[in-house]
Protein backbone atom coordinates (compact mmCIF):
# COMPACT_ATOMS: atom_id res chain seq x y z
CA UNK A 1 0.00 0.00 0.00
CA UNK A 2 2.64 2.48 1.09
CA UNK A 3 4.94 1.77 -1.85
CA UNK A 4 2.05 2.23 -4.26
CA UNK A 5 1.29 5.60 -2.73
CA UNK A 6 4.89 6.71 -2.97
CA UNK A 7 4.98 5.65 -6.61
CA UNK A 8 2.03 7.86 -7.33
CA UNK A 9 3.55 10.80 -5.53
CA UNK A 10 6.87 10.51 -7.28
CA UNK A 11 6.25 9.61 -10.92
CA UNK A 12 9.67 10.85 -12.12
CA UNK A 13 11.42 8.40 -9.80
CA UNK A 14 9.51 5.54 -11.44
CA UNK A 15 10.49 6.66 -14.90
CA UNK A 16 14.17 6.83 -14.11
CA UNK A 17 14.25 3.48 -12.29
CA UNK A 18 14.81 0.20 -14.12
CA UNK A 19 11.92 -1.26 -16.11
CA UNK A 20 9.71 -3.45 -13.91
CA UNK A 21 9.47 -7.12 -14.78
CA UNK A 22 6.91 -7.39 -17.66
CA UNK A 23 4.33 -9.48 -15.81
CA UNK A 24 1.40 -8.36 -17.96
CA UNK A 25 3.21 -9.21 -21.18
CA UNK A 26 4.02 -12.65 -19.80
CA UNK A 27 0.41 -13.28 -18.79
CA UNK A 28 -0.84 -12.08 -22.18
CA UNK A 29 1.60 -14.38 -23.98
CA UNK A 30 0.60 -17.27 -21.73
CA UNK A 31 -3.11 -16.80 -22.51
CA UNK A 32 -2.46 -16.45 -26.24
CA UNK A 33 -0.13 -19.45 -26.14
CA UNK A 34 -2.74 -21.57 -24.37
CA UNK A 35 -5.28 -20.54 -27.02
CA UNK A 36 -2.84 -21.46 -29.80
CA UNK A 37 -2.31 -24.91 -28.22
CA UNK A 38 -6.09 -25.43 -28.17
CA UNK A 39 -6.22 -24.57 -31.87
CA UNK A 40 -3.28 -26.74 -32.95
CA UNK A 41 -3.59 -29.79 -30.67
CA UNK A 42 -6.70 -31.34 -32.31
CA UNK A 43 -4.95 -31.34 -35.70
CA UNK A 44 -1.80 -32.89 -34.23
CA UNK A 45 -3.84 -35.56 -32.48
CA UNK A 46 -5.68 -36.49 -35.68
CA UNK A 47 -2.48 -36.57 -37.74
CA UNK A 48 -0.68 -38.80 -35.23
CA UNK A 49 -3.72 -41.13 -35.14
CA UNK A 50 -3.49 -41.42 -38.93
CA UNK A 51 0.03 -42.84 -38.63
CA UNK A 52 -0.67 -45.05 -35.63
CA UNK A 53 -2.05 -48.59 -35.26
CA UNK A 54 -5.82 -48.80 -35.03
CA UNK A 55 -5.86 -50.28 -31.54
CA UNK A 56 -3.68 -47.42 -30.31
CA UNK A 57 -5.75 -44.65 -31.84
CA UNK A 58 -7.95 -44.12 -28.83
CA UNK A 59 -5.28 -44.47 -26.16
CA UNK A 60 -5.70 -42.11 -23.22
CA UNK A 61 -3.99 -39.88 -22.31
CA UNK A 62 -3.89 -38.75 -25.95
CA UNK A 63 -0.61 -39.40 -27.72
CA UNK A 64 1.17 -36.78 -29.79
CA UNK A 65 3.45 -39.18 -31.66
CA UNK A 66 2.49 -42.68 -32.83
CA UNK A 67 4.24 -45.49 -30.95
CA UNK A 68 4.48 -47.75 -34.00
CA UNK A 69 4.26 -45.59 -37.14
CA UNK A 70 2.49 -47.27 -40.05
CA UNK A 71 0.84 -46.29 -43.33
CA UNK A 72 -1.82 -49.00 -43.06
CA UNK A 73 -4.59 -46.50 -42.29
CA UNK A 74 -4.00 -44.72 -45.60
CA UNK A 75 -4.12 -48.05 -47.41
CA UNK A 76 -7.44 -48.79 -45.66
CA UNK A 77 -8.91 -45.50 -46.84
CA UNK A 78 -8.25 -46.33 -50.48
CA UNK A 79 -9.49 -49.91 -49.99
CA UNK A 80 -12.82 -48.66 -48.63
CA UNK A 81 -13.66 -45.68 -50.85
CA UNK A 82 -12.24 -44.14 -54.04
CA UNK A 83 -10.63 -41.38 -52.02
CA UNK A 84 -8.18 -40.42 -54.79
CA UNK A 85 -11.23 -39.66 -56.97
CA UNK A 86 -12.80 -37.52 -54.23
CA UNK A 87 -9.60 -35.52 -53.95
CA UNK A 88 -9.22 -35.23 -57.71
CA UNK A 89 -12.88 -34.16 -58.11
CA UNK A 90 -12.56 -31.47 -55.45
CA UNK A 91 -9.36 -30.17 -57.01
CA UNK A 92 -10.87 -30.20 -60.50
CA UNK A 93 -14.01 -28.35 -59.40
CA UNK A 94 -12.04 -25.82 -57.36
CA UNK A 95 -9.69 -25.05 -60.27
CA UNK A 96 -12.44 -24.82 -62.90
CA UNK A 97 -14.80 -22.71 -60.80
CA UNK A 98 -11.96 -20.41 -59.75
CA UNK A 99 -10.79 -19.89 -63.34
CA UNK A 100 -14.37 -19.45 -64.50
CA UNK A 101 -15.17 -16.88 -61.85
CA UNK A 102 -12.02 -14.92 -62.60
CA UNK A 103 -13.30 -14.58 -66.18
CA UNK A 104 -17.03 -14.00 -65.59
CA UNK A 105 -16.68 -11.79 -62.53
CA UNK A 106 -13.96 -9.61 -64.02
CA UNK A 107 -15.93 -9.12 -67.26
CA UNK A 108 -19.15 -8.25 -65.44
CA UNK A 109 -17.28 -6.01 -63.02
CA UNK A 110 -15.56 -4.27 -65.92
CA UNK A 111 -18.93 -3.59 -67.54
CA UNK A 112 -20.33 -2.16 -64.31
CA UNK A 113 -17.23 -0.10 -63.61
CA UNK A 114 -16.40 1.24 -67.05
CA UNK A 115 -19.14 0.86 -69.67
CA UNK A 116 -22.27 2.91 -70.17
CA UNK A 117 -25.33 0.92 -71.20
CA UNK A 118 -29.08 1.18 -70.68
CA UNK A 119 -30.36 -0.54 -67.55
CA UNK A 120 -26.92 -0.57 -65.91
CA UNK A 121 -28.15 0.78 -62.59
CA UNK A 122 -31.10 -1.59 -62.44
CA UNK A 123 -28.84 -4.54 -63.22
CA UNK A 124 -26.41 -3.44 -60.55
CA UNK A 125 -29.25 -3.20 -58.05
CA UNK A 126 -30.37 -6.72 -58.97
CA UNK A 127 -26.81 -7.89 -58.40
CA UNK A 128 -26.67 -6.25 -54.99
CA UNK A 129 -29.97 -7.81 -53.96
CA UNK A 130 -28.63 -11.22 -54.98
CA UNK A 131 -25.81 -10.55 -52.50
CA UNK A 132 -28.33 -10.34 -49.69
CA UNK A 133 -29.90 -13.75 -50.34
CA UNK A 134 -27.97 -16.42 -48.47
CA UNK A 135 -26.94 -19.43 -50.55
CA UNK A 136 -28.60 -22.15 -48.46
CA UNK A 137 -32.00 -20.59 -49.06
CA UNK A 138 -31.97 -20.90 -52.83
CA UNK A 139 -31.00 -24.57 -52.69
CA UNK A 140 -34.45 -25.91 -53.62
CA UNK A 141 -35.09 -23.83 -56.77
CA UNK A 142 -31.47 -24.37 -57.82
CA UNK A 143 -31.86 -28.12 -57.37
CA UNK A 144 -35.09 -28.15 -59.40
CA UNK A 145 -33.37 -26.25 -62.23
CA UNK A 146 -30.40 -28.62 -62.17
CA UNK A 147 -32.75 -31.60 -62.47
CA UNK A 148 -34.75 -30.08 -65.30
CA UNK A 149 -31.58 -29.31 -67.21
CA UNK A 150 -30.60 -32.97 -66.83
CA UNK A 151 -27.49 -32.04 -64.86
CA UNK A 152 -28.28 -34.08 -61.74
CA UNK A 153 -25.30 -36.25 -60.88
CA UNK A 154 -22.86 -34.39 -63.10
CA UNK A 155 -20.00 -32.06 -62.25
CA UNK A 156 -21.65 -29.44 -64.45
CA UNK A 157 -24.26 -29.13 -61.69
CA UNK A 158 -21.50 -27.89 -59.40
CA UNK A 159 -19.56 -25.85 -61.96
CA UNK A 160 -22.27 -23.88 -63.79
CA UNK A 161 -23.96 -22.29 -60.73
CA UNK A 162 -20.47 -21.59 -59.38
CA UNK A 163 -19.62 -19.42 -62.36
CA UNK A 164 -21.92 -16.69 -61.12
CA UNK A 165 -20.77 -14.96 -57.98
CA UNK A 166 -22.43 -11.62 -57.20
CA UNK A 167 -19.96 -11.03 -54.38
CA UNK A 168 -17.04 -11.51 -56.77
CA UNK A 169 -18.51 -9.05 -59.27
CA UNK A 170 -19.06 -6.52 -56.51
CA UNK A 171 -15.56 -7.00 -55.08
CA UNK A 172 -13.87 -6.51 -58.47
CA UNK A 173 -16.12 -3.64 -59.50
CA UNK A 174 -15.24 -1.76 -56.31
CA UNK A 175 -11.58 -2.19 -57.20
CA UNK A 176 -11.89 -1.35 -60.90
CA UNK A 177 -13.59 2.00 -60.24
CA UNK A 178 -10.52 3.10 -58.27
CA UNK A 179 -8.21 2.63 -61.29
CA UNK A 180 -7.58 6.04 -62.91
CA UNK A 181 -9.05 6.40 -66.39
CA UNK A 182 -6.04 8.26 -67.84
CA UNK A 183 -4.39 5.12 -69.15
CA UNK A 184 -7.56 3.99 -70.88
CA UNK A 185 -8.13 7.39 -72.43
CA UNK A 186 -4.63 7.30 -73.86
CA UNK A 187 -5.13 3.75 -75.13
CA UNK A 188 -8.45 4.73 -76.69
CA UNK A 189 -6.77 7.57 -78.56
CA UNK A 190 -4.34 4.97 -79.90
CA UNK A 191 -7.33 2.99 -81.18
CA UNK A 192 -7.71 0.35 -78.45
CA UNK A 193 -11.18 -1.20 -78.25
CA UNK A 194 -13.09 -2.08 -75.09
CA UNK A 195 -11.79 -5.64 -74.96
CA UNK A 196 -8.18 -4.54 -75.28
CA UNK A 197 -8.67 -2.09 -72.42
CA UNK A 198 -10.14 -4.86 -70.26
CA UNK A 199 -7.41 -7.33 -71.13
CA UNK A 200 -4.34 -5.09 -71.37
CA UNK A 201 -5.03 -2.34 -68.86
CA UNK A 202 -7.60 -3.26 -66.23
CA UNK A 203 -6.63 -6.91 -65.63
CA UNK A 204 -2.84 -6.35 -65.32
CA UNK A 205 -3.51 -3.54 -62.81
CA UNK A 206 -5.80 -5.73 -60.69
CA UNK A 207 -3.45 -8.49 -59.53
CA UNK A 208 -4.14 -8.18 -55.79
CA UNK A 209 -7.93 -8.18 -56.01
CA UNK A 210 -7.95 -11.03 -58.55
CA UNK A 211 -5.73 -13.03 -56.17
CA UNK A 212 -8.18 -12.30 -53.36
CA UNK A 213 -11.12 -13.56 -55.41
CA UNK A 214 -9.17 -16.63 -56.51
CA UNK A 215 -8.24 -17.55 -52.93
CA UNK A 216 -11.77 -17.03 -51.60
CA UNK A 217 -13.34 -19.05 -54.41
CA UNK A 218 -10.83 -21.88 -54.28
CA UNK A 219 -11.16 -22.31 -50.52
CA UNK A 220 -14.96 -22.03 -50.78
CA UNK A 221 -15.30 -24.71 -53.47
CA UNK A 222 -12.77 -27.04 -51.86
CA UNK A 223 -14.74 -26.88 -48.60
CA UNK A 224 -18.29 -26.94 -49.99
CA UNK A 225 -20.51 -29.68 -48.63
CA UNK A 226 -24.23 -28.92 -48.84
CA UNK A 227 -24.58 -28.54 -52.59
CA UNK A 228 -22.54 -31.63 -53.63
CA UNK A 229 -24.45 -33.59 -51.00
CA UNK A 230 -27.67 -32.63 -52.75
CA UNK A 231 -26.81 -32.84 -56.47
CA UNK A 232 -24.27 -35.69 -56.59
CA UNK A 233 -25.38 -39.23 -55.89
CA UNK A 234 -22.73 -41.25 -57.73
CA UNK A 235 -19.83 -42.07 -55.37
CA UNK A 236 -17.22 -41.79 -58.13
CA UNK A 237 -18.24 -38.18 -58.79
CA UNK A 238 -18.32 -37.19 -55.14
CA UNK A 239 -16.11 -34.51 -53.56
CA UNK A 240 -13.78 -34.79 -50.61
CA UNK A 241 -16.10 -33.34 -47.95
CA UNK A 242 -18.98 -35.69 -48.71
CA UNK A 243 -16.40 -38.46 -49.20
CA UNK A 244 -15.26 -37.96 -45.61
CA UNK A 245 -18.80 -38.43 -44.35
CA UNK A 246 -19.27 -41.52 -46.56
CA UNK A 247 -16.18 -43.06 -45.02
CA UNK A 248 -17.34 -42.16 -41.54
CA UNK A 249 -20.74 -43.66 -42.26
CA UNK A 250 -19.11 -47.00 -43.03
CA UNK A 251 -17.22 -47.16 -39.78
CA UNK A 252 -19.19 -45.22 -37.22
CA UNK A 253 -16.92 -43.65 -34.66
CA UNK A 254 -14.93 -46.87 -34.25
CA UNK A 255 -12.15 -46.81 -36.81
CA UNK A 256 -10.54 -43.56 -35.83
CA UNK A 257 -7.27 -44.46 -37.56
CA UNK A 258 -8.80 -44.83 -41.02
CA UNK A 259 -10.88 -41.68 -40.77
CA UNK A 260 -7.91 -39.83 -39.31
CA UNK A 261 -5.89 -40.86 -42.36
CA UNK A 262 -8.62 -39.48 -44.66
CA UNK A 263 -8.83 -36.29 -42.60
CA UNK A 264 -5.06 -35.92 -42.77
CA UNK A 265 -5.18 -36.15 -46.56
CA UNK A 266 -7.90 -33.51 -46.58
CA UNK A 267 -6.14 -31.15 -44.18
CA UNK A 268 -2.41 -31.41 -44.93
CA UNK A 269 -2.62 -30.02 -48.51
CA UNK A 270 -4.67 -27.10 -47.18
CA UNK A 271 -2.13 -26.63 -44.40
CA UNK A 272 0.81 -26.55 -46.82
CA UNK A 273 -0.88 -24.09 -49.19
CA UNK A 274 -1.99 -22.02 -46.21
CA UNK A 275 1.50 -21.82 -44.72
CA UNK A 276 3.01 -20.90 -48.11
CA UNK A 277 0.41 -18.24 -48.91
CA UNK A 278 -0.65 -17.28 -45.38
CA UNK A 279 0.07 -13.59 -45.88
CA UNK A 280 -2.15 -13.39 -48.97
CA UNK A 281 -4.85 -15.67 -47.59
CA UNK A 282 -5.19 -13.81 -44.30
CA UNK A 283 -5.08 -10.47 -46.07
CA UNK A 284 -7.68 -11.54 -48.65
CA UNK A 285 -10.21 -12.94 -46.24
CA UNK A 286 -9.76 -10.23 -43.66
CA UNK A 287 -9.74 -7.32 -46.10
CA UNK A 288 -12.99 -8.40 -47.72
CA UNK A 289 -14.26 -8.74 -44.17
CA UNK A 290 -13.29 -5.16 -43.35
CA UNK A 291 -14.79 -3.63 -46.44
CA UNK A 292 -17.93 -5.71 -46.18
Partner 1 sequence: MTAPKYVGLENYQKIFSDVRIGNVYLTTIRLTAMIVPCNMTLGLALAVLLDRKMPTIIRNFFKVSYFFPFVVSGVAVSIIWTFLFHRDLGPINYYLGLIGFERIYWLNSSTYSPLAIVIADVWKNVGFYVLVFLGGMQAISRDFYESAEVDGATAWQQFRHITLPLLSPTILFLMVISVIGALQIFEQPQILTNGGPGDATRTIVMYIYEQGFRFFDMGYASAIAFTLFIIILVLTIIQFALSRRWVFYS
The residues that touch partner 1, with contacts defined as CB under 8 A, are 25, 28-29, 31-32, 35-36, 38-40, 42-43, 45-46, 58, 60-62, 132-134, 136-141, 143-144, 147, 219, 222-223, 225-226, 229-230, 240-242, 244-245, 248, 253, 256, 259-260, 263, 266-267, 270-271, 274-275, 278, 281-282, 285-287, 289-290, 292
Q: Which CB sits closer to partner 1, 86 or 176?
A: 86
CB 37, min distance to partner 1, A:
9
Task: Write down the least CB distance from residue 119 to partner 1, Å.
Answer: 25
Q: Which of residues 36 and 149 has its CB atom nearest to partner 1 in the complex?
A: 36
In this complex, which beta carbon is closest to partner 1, that of residue 202 or of residue 281?
Answer: 281
Nearer Cβ to partner 1, position 197 or 232?
232
As measured in angstroms, the least distance from the Cβ of 13 to partner 1 is: 18
Minimum Å distance from CB 143 to partner 1?
Answer: 7
Minimum distance of partner 1 from residue 237's CB (angstroms): 17
Q: Which is nearer to partner 1, 157 or 219 (CB)?
A: 219
Q: Which is nearer to partner 1, 78 or 195 (CB)?
A: 78
User: SS3 for the chain, per residue?
Assistant: CHHHHHHHHCHHHHHHCCCCCCHHHHHHHHHHHHHHHHHHHHHHHHHHHHCCCHHHCCCCCCCCCCCCCCCHHHHHHHHHCCHHHHHHHHHHHHHHHHHHHHHHHHHHHHHHHHCCCCCHHHHHHHHHHHHHCCHHHHHHHHHHHHHHCCCCCCCHHHHCHHHCCHHHHHHHHHHHCCCCCHHHHHHHHCCCCHHHHHHHHHCHHHHHHHHHHHHHHHHHHHHCCHHHHHHCCCHHHCCHHHHHHHHHHHHCCCCHHHHHHHHHHHHHHHHHHHHHHHHHHHHHHHHHHHHC
Question: Least separation, in Å, of the C-beta of 204 and partner 1?
Answer: 27
Amino acid sequence: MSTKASVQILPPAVKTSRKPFPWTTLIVLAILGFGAVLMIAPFLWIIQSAFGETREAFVLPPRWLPAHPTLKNFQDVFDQVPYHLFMFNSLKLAVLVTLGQLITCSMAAFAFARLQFPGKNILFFVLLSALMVPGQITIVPLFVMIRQLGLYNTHAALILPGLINPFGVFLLRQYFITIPTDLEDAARVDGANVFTIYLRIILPLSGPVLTTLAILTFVGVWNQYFFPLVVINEPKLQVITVGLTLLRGQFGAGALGTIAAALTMAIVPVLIVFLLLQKYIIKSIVSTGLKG
